Chain A
Amino acid sequence: MKSNLSILTILILVRLKSYLRLAGVVASRIAVFRLGLFLFEAARFRLERNELLKRPRRAAIRLPEVGEQTLDVAPVMIVAAEMSAHSRGVDEIWYEIATTPDSRTIEALPDLFALVCLSSMAKFLSITLREGPRPHFESFESLENLFERSTAGVSRSSCAARLLSDPPPHSTLGKPFYQSEIALNDYLKRAANGRTVVLVAVLEVNFDSCWKQILHDMNDLFEKEADSLFMILDRPSIPPGNGLPMKAAVQTLGVLGFSGLERLALARNVDFLVTDRAPYVLSALSSSTTILVPQIIEARDAATGVAQMVEFRRRHVGVVAT
C-alpha cells in the first residue's frame, strides 16, 4: 500500500513537471509571438510613415495655451479641426498641448483631456509639461497642420458663431461614455418627473449681474410655467443658488459633484440647453437637445434674453443664437 502511494506520488510529480515544462514552453512561445508582433507593427508603422505603404492620412493640431476662456475655445477648435479634416480626407488627428507647471493650462488639462478623449478622430495626444526642447514621440512638423494661421485670434464668440451658422455634419465629441449617460438619464428621469428640463451653463467669468438677472427672471418664469425644471450648473466659486430666492424646481447642480464629462453628458440629455459655453453646445449638437445661446454678453440686456428664450421655447426651433 505504502509503495503504491510512493509510486503514485512520483507519477504525479513527473506529470506535474511535464505540465510545468509545457506551460513554460507555451509562455515563452507567447512571448516570442508578442515580440514578433511588436517588430511587425513597428516595421509597418515605419513603412507607412515613409509612405512606402498606404497609410491613414494624419493631421496635427496644437491646442492653445489656456487663458480665461480657452476651455471654451479648445473644443471649438477640436470640432473645427474635425470638420476641416473631413473635407480634406484626413483620417486621424494628432493633438498636442504645450504648457508649463505654472500655467493655468495645467488647471484645465483634465477637462481638455476629456474633450480630446471624446473627439471621434483623435488618435494621439501629446502634452508637453516643460519649456525648452520638446522630447516628442512624434514630429508634429511631419503632419499636416490643420490650422495654418495662428490660433491667437480665435475667439469664443467667433467660433460659436461659426458653429451655429454651420453646424458640423457628423457627430463630433461623440465617442461613447455609456456608463455616465445611463446613470445620468436615470437621475434626470427621477428629477424631472415628467417636466421639461432646461439646463443652464454659464461661464464663470461672465457670471455677472446680467446673468443673475436672467436667472432671477427665469425663476419668475418658472412660477408661471410649472411644467419646467431649471437645472443650473454652478462652478465651485459660485455658491449654490447665487443668493437668489430659488424655487423648488430650480436645482443647482454644483453641489451634486458631477464631473466635467458628466456635465457634458447632461447637456445632451436634457430638453433645452441655455448656455454661453461652447463645450456644452458641442456636446449637445450630436443630440436632440434644443440649444439656446443668448448673446447677452454683448447686449447686456437680461430682459431681452429671457423674452427671447420664452419665444424660443414656444417655437421649438433647432439651434439658435438670440
Chain B
Amino acid sequence: MSDSLFGFVDYRNFPYALGDTITLLMNMEVLRQLEGKQDIVQLILTYPGSPSSRLQPFINRNNFRNFLIELFPAFLFSPNTSSLSFTESRPFFHYRLVQSTLRRDAVWPGIFAQARGSMDFISHRRINKFFLKNGHLPRLDAPERLRIRAREHLSTLFAGKSLVTVNLRNSKSSYFFSAPHREANIPEWEKFFRLSARSHPDVMFLIVGSFSEWSRSLLEFPNVAISRRLGLGLADELSLLLQSRLFMGSSSGFSALATFSTVPYLIINFEPGAAKYVGLGVGERRYPFAEKNQVILWGQEQASELYREFCEAVE
C-alpha cells in the first residue's frame, strides 16, 4: 500500500471549469487528511475520442486542449500534490486505476464509482463534514515560486496600492454564453468603482478572468486594472488573489479559490440553486467554515450594497 492518495480524474465525467477544479482539489486535500496519506498523486485523462462530459457538448476533439491549457495552472494550487500526470491513453488510465485498486491504495474516485459514473467531485459535503468534525480545513495555496512572483507584481505593478481582486462573470462576451442569471451587473459595478475612487484612492481593483470577459467600459476607471492587459495569466491571477487585501466577485471560478483560502472576500449573487450542494441555507451569509470577514451576498448586486459591504470589509 502506498503513502499517497491517488486521484483519477476522467474528463468524460468532469467539467472543464475553474470552480469545479478548485473544489476537486479541495476534496482531494480533505481526503488525504482523512486517509492519513502524505501526498496526492493525480492522473488526469483527456481521451480525444470523447474528451468532455454531456454537460459541455461544445468541447470536442478539436478544442479540448485549449480548455485544458487554460485550466492547467489551477492544478498547481494543491500544496500536497506531489505528482501530476496527464494522459490521452485510455488503456493506461484504466491500467493504473485497476492496479491501484488491486494494491489497495487509497484511490479516489474508486473504480466502482468510476464505472457507475456517480462521482461527487464538486459538492462541499465531504468538506463540511471534515470541518464539523475537526474544526479546521486544509487550505489551497500557490507554490512558493508563484508566491514570490506575486509579491514582485505587488511591489512593481501595484506599488503603494492596496490590492482588491475582482472577478466579474461576463460570459455573454465570451464564446460560450451560459447561466445568464449568474452574470455580473456591470453598470452597478461601474457606479461602485466611481464611489470607491473618491473614498478609497489607495485601493486598486484588479479585474481577473479571461480576456474576452472584462468589460471595455472599465478602461476609463483609474482605480481599475485589467490583469490580462498586463500580460498576467491564470497562475498569476490566482496567486495575486491569495495575496490581495480582499476578493470581490461573482459566484464563479475565482470565488471558489477565495472560499478555500483565508483571504477576506465578498462573493456576490450566489446562486440559490447551488446552495444545497455546498451545505448552505438560501440567504446565509457565511459558509460553515468561513472566517469572520468572508461573506456571501445573495441576489443581483447593487452599487450601494457593494459599497457598504466593501467599506465594512476594508475598514
Contact = CB atoms under 8 A, between A and B. Distances in A.
B33 interface: no
B70 interface: yes
Given A42-B94, A128-B83, A107 B235 contact: yes
A42 B97 contact: yes
A175 interface: yes
Interface in B39-85: 39, 41, 43, 62-63, 65-66, 68-70, 72-73, 76, 81-85
Interface stretch (A5-13, A82-90, A253-261, A305-313): A253-261
Contact of A135 (B4, B97, B145): B4
Given A180-B66, A236-B230, A261-B69, A38 B94 contact: yes
Contacts of B4: 135
B72 A113 contact: yes
A137 B88 CA distance: 14
A130 B144 CA distance: 12
A298 B82 CA distance: 41
A124 interface: yes
Binding site secondary structure of chain B: helix
A256 B226 CA distance: 11
Interface stretch (A27-35, A152-160, A161-169, A214-222): A27-35
Contact of B228 (A107, A127, A257): A257
What band does the interface of chain A fall in when counting residues whose beta carbon is under 8 Å from B? 35 or more
Binding site secondary structure of chain A: helix
A134 B2 CA distance: 12
B66 A137 contact: no
A117 B115 contact: no
B145 A110 contact: no
A128 B139 CA distance: 21
What band does the interface of chain B fall in when counting residues whose beta carbon is under 8 Å from A? 35 or more
A46 interface: yes
Interface string A173-212: 0011111100000000000000000000000000000000
Contacts, number: 159
B65 A129 contact: no
A126 B98 contact: no
B149 interface: yes
A113 B88 contact: no
B77 to A, nearest CB: 11
Interface in A1-45: 27, 30-32, 34-35, 37-39, 41-42, 44-45
B91 A41 contact: yes
A69 interface: no
Given A123-B89, A135-B41, A178-B62, A42 B99 contact: yes
A106 interface: yes
B94 A109 contact: no
Nearest to A131: B82
B19 interface: no
A129 B87 CA distance: 17
B231 A234 contact: yes
B95 A41 contact: yes
Contacts of A42: 91, 94-95, 97-99
B94 A118 contact: no
B277 interface: no
Contact of B232 (A137, A178, A236): A236
A136 interface: yes
A35 B101 CA distance: 12
Contact of B234 (A39, A110, A117, A124): A110
Contact of A137 (B43, B76, B235): B43
Given A124-B86, A127-B84, 16 more contacts: A27-B116, A31-B116, A35-B111, A38-B114, A38-B115, A42-B99, A102-B143, A107-B235, A109-B235, A114-B69, A129-B84, A137-B96, A175-B65, A179-B66, A256-B229, A261-B69
11 contacts: A34-B117, A38-B94, A41-B94, A101-B143, A102-B145, A104-B145, A107-B235, A118-B65, A235-B231, A261-B66, A261-B69
